[in-house]
Amino acid sequence: MFEAAKLGNNGFLDIIWEKHPDVMFEEEESHYSIFHIAVMYRQNDIFSFMGKKVRRMLRPVDAEAPNKDGKTASALFTEEHEGLRKKAEKWTKGVANACIVEATLIATVAFTAGLTVPGGTKEQNGTPHFVQRASLIIFAISDTAALLFSSFSMVDYNHYSCQ
């Protein structure tokens, strides 16, 4: 059973747990349960699969029952992971701020590049020298896309950061 958990063999474990659900909580000689093995060997499918099985085995009343300290499982989880949530929030805000700086720089450069035509213009009528070349069209399209996407990301960031 533990080897099946290491290898990610859901089918085998499902057959065992259908007939004998109590063996799900067995431990090997090193005192690791199937939950531990699934996490150690990064078998997310088994870990998720087991969570659905355990929830089905519990009555809703048991899942919401308080422990000896008067806390439910979800309240205890929230309390235990509050520090982790705060760290993740701080990290996410830092990454978002770094991205907004980059988006602003890209928008500035794209706007400036859009105003200056590569190759210059003809003095007689002001049309670009490379107006007939595909490279000017590609430049114009990619510059416009860079300006639009960076502007959209700045607007999107400001929208969510104000909420």
Domains of the chain as residue ranges with CATH:
2-57 (1.25.40), 83-161 (no CATH)
pLDDT, tens digit, 9 for 90 and up, residues 59-105: 667 667 888 888 887 788 788 888 888 998 998 888 888 888 888 89
List the one residue out of 30, 48, 38 whose CA is nearest residue 8. 38
Q: What is the pTM of this model?
A: 0.47
Residue 61: phi, psi to the nearest 5?
-65, -40
pLDDT for residue 53: 64
Among the residue ranges 31-35, 130-134, 148-152, 157-161, the one predicted with the least confidence is 157-161
- Amino acid identity, residue 162? C
- SS3 for the chain, per residue? CHHHHHHCCHHHHHHHHHHCHHHHHCECCCCCEHHHHHHHCCCHHHHHHHHHHHHHHCCHHHHCCCCCCCCCHHHHHHHHCHHHHHHHHHHHHHHHHHHHHHHHHHHHHHHHHHHCCCCCECCCCCCECCCCCHHHHHHHHHHHHHHHHHHHHHHHHHHHHCC
Q: What is the pLDDT of residue 128?
A: 79
